[in-house]
Amino acid sequence: MATTRYGLLGYPARHSKSPAMHNAAFKQAGIDAQYDAYEVAPNALAATFKSLVASGVAGFNVTMPFKEAIMLYLDDLTPLARRLSAVNTVVIRDGKTIGDSTDGAGFWRTLREPADQVILIGTGGAARAIMATAPKSVTLHVFNRQSDRFPEKAAMVNDLAGVELHDLAEIGLYLPYADLIVNATNVGMQSDISILSTEQFYETQPDVQVVDIIYKKEPTPFMAAARAAGRQADDGLAMLIGQGALSFEQWTGQLPDINVMKQAIMPAEEGEK
């Protein structure tokens, strides 16, 4: 039998650790499969996706900037993906492409400690997934910069999480009470800008958990600002592993070895720093 193929659709995508993580998990599970990153120009998504499906690729992960755009080319969506208007996992069953989201469940599964008072910055696809899958015990405070679309985003946040959307300018009122602060924007991915300053992190509890859902070779600006204030900060690698494990399970029907996935990407990360 031919090797089963899976892949990641994104732009950029070459930096992704998903191939190393999934290929290690396939090998450990004894599954004859290969996972590749497909860097797709934004105007070529439709043609590339259709071509890859036709060529026999059996499932995909989807990352920025395609989590919403991909929905136009799918045969069906799970109720969660429909509710989120975002997809990070595509499963192909009986010739049909089905979009789902494992981002939120993957995030909450991988926190160092349970959290009660949570600040979430951003309203994009990953942020929506985190909101919609938040444990009932969590009190969520969602923030976004003011823009023409703020009322539209506020309605969406209320629909998904039953909470108010706050202006980012007001975040200082909430920082002292948070035990988890999450940057779910792409600010800092391509720049040295942090959405919160070190001075703002000094306003937080000393043991606050800080998570930036993006990851880079070096600590992200958000992480660096938190660490400069003596706060513990993590990047998006734990979330990457969590959502990836759930995608793997959907594709194969098997639970992957989380430690194998982690070992496949963590040593390289440390070596790059």
Q: Which residues participate in catalysis according to the annotation?
A: 67
CA nearest 215: which of 234, 194, 198, 232? 234
Q: Report whether 6 belongs to an annotated binding site.
A: no
Q: Report whether 103 belongs to an annotated binding site.
A: yes
Q: Report whether 63 belongs to an annotated binding site.
A: yes
Q: Report whether 186 belongs to an annotated binding site.
A: no
Q: Report whether 23 belongs to an annotated binding site.
A: no
CB 204 within 8 A of CB 231: yes
Q: Report whether 213 belongs to an annotated binding site.
A: yes
Q: Report whether 148 belongs to an annotated binding site.
A: no
Integer Cα distance of 185 and 195 in angstroms: 9
Integer Cα distance of 91 and 74 in angstroms: 10
Place of tokens 């499932």: 59
- Encoding tokens for residue 75? 């045969």
CB 210 within 8 A of CB 181: yes
Phi/psi region, residue 155 (left: phi>0; alpha: psi -120 to 50; beta: rest), is alpha
The CA angle 10-159-169, to the nearest 5 degrees, is 75
Integer Cα distance of 168 and 72 in angstroms: 31
Q: Report whether 18 belongs to an annotated binding site.
A: yes
Q: List the binding residues.
A: 16-18, 63, 88, 103, 213, 215, 236, 243
Q: List the binding residues for NADP(+).
A: 213, 236
Q: List the binding residues for shikimate.
A: 16-18, 63, 88, 103, 215, 243
